[in-house]
Amino acid sequence: MELVIRHCLVEGDARDIGIEEGRIAWVRSPGLEVPGDPTPDRVIDGRGLHAFPGLKNGHTHAAMTLFRGYGDDLPLMEWLQTRIWPAEALLTEEDVYHGTRLALVEMIRSGTTYFNDMYWHRPGVVRAVEELGLRAHVGSVFIDHGDPTGVAAGALREAVLRQVSERHTLNLRVQVALAPHAIYTVAPESLEWMADLASRNDLIVHIHLSETRSEVDACVATHGVRPAHFLESVGLLETSLVLAHGVYLDEEEMELLAAHGATVVTNPTANMKLATGGIFDYRAARAAGLRVVLGTDGAGSNNNLDMIEEMKILALVQKHRAGDPTVLTAREALALATTAPSEAFRLGSGDLEPGAPADIILVDLSRPSTQPVHDPVSALVYAANGDAVHTTICDGRVLMHDRRVEVADEDEVVATAIAAAEKLEGR
């Protein structure tokens, strides 16, 4: 036995959890010893702590922690053109490594054990994930600006093919995904090429879709169909498709996507902060049987990666949108950050049960801001925040215990990320 958590609370009941080879071996009433159980390498005292599955962040640009708070409160295009794009043009793989490490330390501290990333300089992201012990899908942004045969597109295709062919050399926690940026930045021919590659290799495809109304209008004007139908026309619905945002999907598109097993990642904070004008229609998605998961987007437009805060904002915004406080409960918000992404990203069970990956967080709900606890899920979603996370375990490894990150020197991670950010912004 690698690790045993003693006497934590699972759905309000005291439980011991045994972990072996990165998986939950058993969940038992406390103190129940079974003859033949090997002595655990490590025991964590879970008394008074609530165990939940590790949180899964469905859409990130992790290294954008470097641009946290860099140009808030600006119109989207001004933000991109005057702040983000000039800084991103200077990014090196080393910068991305440092920015991603900062993101991962933040994720560990707020209970996130998995993220689905799309960014530049992928090797920097992969190195950070392998070192810090989380799980991830890591995709390289693919943008050909509508020119599928140019030099840039050719180099990007080569890089993607290399990532796909080398994917089995990665640590099992780190997986490749294809990441065409969006339908307005990638030529249809390139999307078809990626759809074929993904289908043949059973890969997840991660793309921004229907984030703004103008994107939808442009799609209809150019292709004569709405975005989901356009995805169908280039073959992407035949892949394991993950769509970031989906704010302007209509009911028919939702039904089409649901029929093909696609997943939408809703990012309520980023959508509101950038004032994209809409809110994803969760009620319609549920009616259509469309899988929905939760994401923070990058720290540049959030400005943190706290999935506990994001669950609250998700529930608030959906209740407001629907004019109905029952439309998305605390329990559903938690499912969008645990069981639903486990299914979408093929991570195994997203519940705390034998056989599930040992991706577990222990949360301290004993603090004044979360007491009294009538329902641990309500306390987690509506009253707590990421700082309530006491212990974070991924793949059976303790990444943080008693709020001390064990897999990195936090001060060094923060300092090197600050230095990288200062250089990029020419300060």
Chain positions 232 to 291 lying near a second copy, rule: CB under 8 A, are 269, 271-275, 277, 279
Tell me the window of 4-12, 125-133, 145-153, 381-389 that interacts with a second copy (CB under 8 A): 381-389
For residue 409, state whether it binds a second copy (rule: CB under 8 A): no
DSSP SS3 for 184: coil
Q: Which of 72, 251, 252, 353 binds a second copy (CB under 8 A)?
A: 72
Stretch (H or E) spanning 393? strand 389-394
For residue 309, state whether it binds a second copy (rule: CB under 8 A): yes
For residue 385, state whether it binds a second copy (rule: CB under 8 A): yes
Site for a second copy in 88-117 (CB under 8 A): 102, 105-106, 109-110
Tell me the window of 13-21, 65-73, 143-151, 163-171 that interacts with a second copy (CB under 8 A): 65-73
For residue 339, state whether it binds a second copy (rule: CB under 8 A): no
CB of 128 to a second copy, least distance (A): 13
Q: Which of 26, 52, 70, 282 binds a second copy (CB under 8 A)?
A: 70
Q: Measured at the alpha carbon of residue 319, what is the angle toward residues 316 and 324, in degrees to the nearest 5?
A: 155
For residue 369, state whether it binds a second copy (rule: CB under 8 A): yes
For residue 68, state whether it binds a second copy (rule: CB under 8 A): yes
Alpha-carbon separation of residue 193 from 143, 161, 178, 229, 407 (angstroms): 13, 11, 11, 17, 39
CB of 20 to a second copy, least distance (A): 31
Site for a second copy in 171-210 (CB under 8 A): none
Exposed e or buried b for every residue in 86-96, given b needs 16+ CB within 10 A? ebbeebeeebb
Q: Which of 218, 260, 382, 401 binds a second copy (CB under 8 A)?
A: 382
DSSP SS3 for 389: strand
Distance CA 403, CA 107 (A): 12
99 vs 357, which CB is nearer to a second copy? 99
Distance CA 210, CA 393 (A): 35
Contact letters for a second copy, residues 148-167 (x by CB under 8 A): --------------------
For residue 144, state whether it binds a second copy (rule: CB under 8 A): no
- How many binding residues for a second copy (CB under 8 A)? 71
Q: Strand locations in 240-283, DSSP E?
A: 240-245, 263-266
DSSP SS3 for 10: strand
For residue 311, state whether it binds a second copy (rule: CB under 8 A): no
Q: Which of 3, 19, 66, 265 binds a second copy (CB under 8 A)?
A: 66
Contact 320, 294 (CB under 8 A): no
Residue linked to tokens 């990058």: 298
- Written as one string, the DSSP assignment of 191-231 is HHHHHHHHHHHT-EEEEEES-SHHHHHHHHHHHSS-HHHHH
For residue 52, state whether it binds a second copy (rule: CB under 8 A): no
